[in-house]
Structures are given as structure tokens and as C-alpha cells.
Structure 1
Amino acid sequence: MTSKVKSTFIYIFLGIVTVVSVFPLLWMIIAATNKSVDVIAGKLTFGTYIAENYQNLIAQQPLWSSFLNSCKYTILVTAFALIVSSLAGYAFEIYRDKAKEKIYVVVLMSMMIPFVALMVPLFRMYSKLGLLNSAVGFMLPSLATPLLIMMFRTNAKAFPIDIIEAARIDGLSEFGIFLRMYIPSMKSIFAAAGVVTFMNAWNNYLWAKVIMSDNTTQTMPMLISNLISGYVTDYGMLMLAVLITTIPTAIVFFALQKYFVEGITGSVK
């Protein structure tokens, strides 16, 4: 009886936590279908104003060009970050020596430096290199992050050294070992790192605001910021923009949810 009561309280607690967690998302969807005055009034039922909110949104902001910019920048950052960080993590674990261990310590120490402290020197450097308002300028700071390198190195510890030695004896090149053996066995960590990188790149506002000064290079977080910078905020239109911005990250996360959990917990098949 005690175990049943305990289980009941656990399920009640989990139910409350679930409602609290899901309610903001549900409220965002409801708000996107209502007028601004209804959102301010706290209306919690679906409205019929979503088409008007959409028309107002595309009339005020370049919605789909901003959406395509975010897609382009995020996909490029995710693809190149996975390549660079996986190569670095693999090399740090498989090819060990004292010099590389010292470099790895420096890489981990760089996690203690907030990115805000680096923005001004990065902006000046990229300005001199002519990388403002470019995908390259947006991508470079995110290509080799200490977190991703640490994730790949930690998971590379489970990669059998005996297999590498056997592959070398059979004449397989080092890059061939990485491409044909390491990557297929590390699908879960690639998925987890891809989800983390995709979400960080998609939601990147501060660096995009610094490096992208042209309206043609505007991203979705910048578009949302522009919607709340005026004297009067249309909350229905704003929530619709937030909803559209949320959809890609939700799709990526739910599509790779299984592999994401395996990668975070260090599962290697």
C-alpha cells in the first residue's frame, strides 16, 4: 500500500511538472491565433486571427528570407562543426602525447571565457578580413567548440584500439579508419552533437546581431527582436513569428531524440 501511495504521488508530481513545462508552448500556439489585445487579456482559447497575424508579419518583416538565412547558416555551422570537432576529439584520444594533452587542457580552459568577452576583438578582426555580413563570419566562432571536442573525445574512449591496429595492418589509411570505422560506430554522438550545435546556431542572436548588419542577412532571432523594438508590440504577430522559429528545432530534436539520449549517455554501438 505504501508503494502504491508513493507511486501515486510520483505520477501526480510528474503530471504537474509536465503541465508546467508544456503550458508555455501551448500558450504560444494559442497566442499566435489571437489578436494582440486578446493575448494581453490572457485569452486561453484558440482564435481565428492567425491569417491576419501572418499577413501583418510578412508586411513588416522579410519573414521567409530571414528563415532561409537561418536555415543556411545553421546547416553550414552544424555540418562543419561536426567535421572539425569530431576530427579534433578523435585525434586527442587516439594520438596521445604530452604536447597534445597540454593543448587539450588549454581547449578546456577556454570554456571558462564567456563569449561576450571575445565579441569585440572578433568583430574587429573579422571587419579587417572583410567577413562582416557573410556566412563565413557567422560560422567561424562555432566550428570548434570545447564542448563538442570534449564530447567526441569522451566517446572516442570507447572505440577499440585493437580494431584500429588491425585496420592499420590491413593497410587502411588513418583517414579511412576515421571515415569508414569511427563515424559509423559513433552515430549517436554525432546525432547528439548535431542537435546541440543546430539549436545553438539557430538560436544564436548576439553574435548574429554583431556580425550581420545588413537586413538581407537577417536571421529569425533578429527578426523577432525587431518585432519588439517598436513603441507598440503586436503580441499575436510576435507569437506567430516565435512559433515559426520554434518549428525547425522541434523537428530536429524529435527526429533525433533517440540518438540524442544515447549520445549524451555515451552509448556506442
Structure 2
Amino acid sequence: MVVSATNTSADVLSSRLLPGTHLWENLTTLFQTQNVLAAMGSSAFIAVGTTVLALSVCSIAGYGFEVFHSRGKDVLMAVLLLAMMIPFAAIMIPLFQLFAGAGMVNSLWAVIIPAISTPFLILLFRQASRSFPHELIEAARIDGLSEIAIFARIYVPTMRSTFAAAAVITFMLAWNNFLWPKVILIDSDVFTMPMLIANLSAGYVTDYGVLMLAVLLASVPTMLVFFALQRSFAEGITGAIK
């Protein structure tokens, strides 16, 4: 991908394996023909907004499922897990009608809101919460801390590796999401990077050097997030499985 971004389309099609001298030409063509900065901004807003809100909501839900006891919580968790079996294509049209009725077509929030709460993240935090020492919660309650204070001051710092793992997963899924943004975002001013890349390959003639450069630019943020949190990501996934 990196090598192809420096070559012409003919060089890419001929399977050239050596770096070329057309990086600047490909970069100029990409920025002249596509609104790359707007697409990067839209993708960043969606990815960061989804990550922050999803971690906030799903961590509280997972914490509540494990710490608080009630007869119906296992039934409710089973219903949430059943939702994972429903393909997104089955709810895509009703979801579009819902947001269209609310006047949120072409709104980036229409991409963020459906991903705020997912059964997978709730299950991840619930499984991780099983290794959380409940003695700390009881001690904090005796000291007079509220449940919100216990969650914010004790649970969150202790489970930071799980939060890191959930952040990596959520950020990558939100950044690479294509189908739902393609449906709900119609105006080119709010296109995301995956939609921009799809546009580059949708014409009669595809410039593969420019296409590979766009893919490279779209891959950099997710790579940076993963490399920055890879140790915590591994610890969080291992802890959740245990």
C-alpha cells in the first residue's frame, strides 16, 4: 500500500514493488479531486464521539449487570445477546425511516447514536467486572461514597485496560464503518473516508496510485490508536476472558 501510493496507476497494475517518484503528484490529485480534509474530519468526529459515548454507556451497563443483583438481569442480558444475531441489513431501512422522520439525514449524529450501546461492549465490560474486587465496593459504600463516585473514582481507574481494549475496538469499527454512513449521509460535504475511497474506485477509470494513497491516509489514525494502546488492549482482552 505504501509503495503503491508512490507509483502511477500503470506501475501498480504492473505489480511494481519498488517505491516510485509520483507521491506528490498522487497527493495533489487526491486533494484536488476529493474533499479529503472534510472526510477526515467527519470520520474523526464519528470515531471519537462514538468511542467516548459508547465507553461511557456500555461501561455503566456492564458494571450494573455484574454489581447489582435482580431477578430479571439475566433475562435482559439474554435479550441483548439475541440482538447480536440480527443482521444490520434487517434494521437498516426502519432505522433510516426513524432518523429521516427526526430530520437527521446528513447528520453525523445519526451515525453515532445507533452505535452508542452495543451488546458486545456491554458483555465485554460485564465479563471484565467479574474480576473486579467487590470488597472495594463494599468498603467504599461504608465510607459513604455514592454509586456514581464508586464507579468514577474506583472502577474506572482499576479497569483502565478494559477501557483501552474497548476504545480500540470501538474506534476502529466506527472509523471503518461504511454501510450505515453510506445510507444516511447523502451530501458529499459530510462523507467519511471509507465513502471517499469508495468514490475513487467507482468511476470508469481508477487511478490506483491515488486510491492507495487515500487508503494509506485512512489507515494511519487506526494504526496510531492501536499502537498507542496495544499493551492495554492485550491486557483488557485477556482480563475480559478470564
- Interval of TM-score (by shorter of Structure 1 and Structure 2): over 0.9
1:214 aligns with 2:187: yes
Per the alignment, residue 61 of structure 2 pairs with: 88
What is residue 12 of structure 1 aligned with on the other side?
Answer: none
Match of 2:83 among 106, 110, 116: 110
User: Do structure 1's residue 63 and structure 2's residue 36 form an aligned pair?
Assistant: yes
2:235 maps to 1:235: no
| Contact persistence 2:197–2:211 (CA under 8 A) | yes
**Match for residue 164 of structure 1 among 107, 132, 137:** 137
Gaps of 5+ in 2: none
Shift >4 Å, 4+ stretches: none
1:199 has 2:199 as partner:
no
| Count of residue pairs brought into register by the alignment | 241
In 2, the alpha carbon distance for the partners of 1:169 and 1:211 equals: 49
| 1:126-152 deviation line (CA, Å, top 9, x unaligned) | 100111111221111111111100000
In 2 relative to 1, CA 239–127 (structure 1 residues): closer, same or farther, beyond 3 Å? same
Q: Which residue of 2 aligns with 1:35?
A: 8
Q: Any conservation in 2 of the 1:33–1:236 contact (CA below 8 Å)?
A: yes
1:128 aligns with 2:101: yes
CA–CA separation in structure 1 for the residues paired with 2:206 and 2:39: 20
The answer on whether the counterparts of 2:42 and 2:108 sit within 8 Å (CA) in structure 1 is: no
TM-score, scaled relative to structure 2: 0.98
Separation in structure 2 between the aligned mates of residue 267 and residue 237 of structure 1, nearest angstrom:
41
Partner of 1:13: none
1:150 and 2:150 are equivalent in the alignment: no
The one of 155, 160, 179 equivalent to 1:182 is 155
Query: What is the aligned partner in structure 2 of residue 5 from structure 1?
Result: none
Return the alpha-carbon distance in structure 2 between the equivalents of residues 163 and 246 of structure 1.
41
TM-score by length of 1: 0.88
1:250 aligns with one of 223, 236, 239: 223
Q: CA deviation at 1:59?
A: 1.2
- Is the partner of 2:84 in helix, strand or coil? helix
Deviations 1:209-259 (A, max 9, x none): 011111111000000000011000000000000000000000000000000
Q: Is the 8 A contact 1:152 1:189 kept in 2?
A: yes
Gaps of 5+ in 1: 1-27
* Aligned counterparts of 1:141 and 1:96: Cα–Cα separation in 2: 28
What is the letter of the counterpart of residue 48 of structure 1? Answer: T
Larger RCO (alpha carbons 8 Å, 6+ apart): 2
- Structure number, greater radius of gyration: 1
Percent identity, please: 50
Output the CA distance in 2 between the equivalents of 1:150 and 1:142: 15
Counterpart Cα distance in 1 of 2:7 and 2:28: 13
SS for the counterpart of 2:154 is: helix
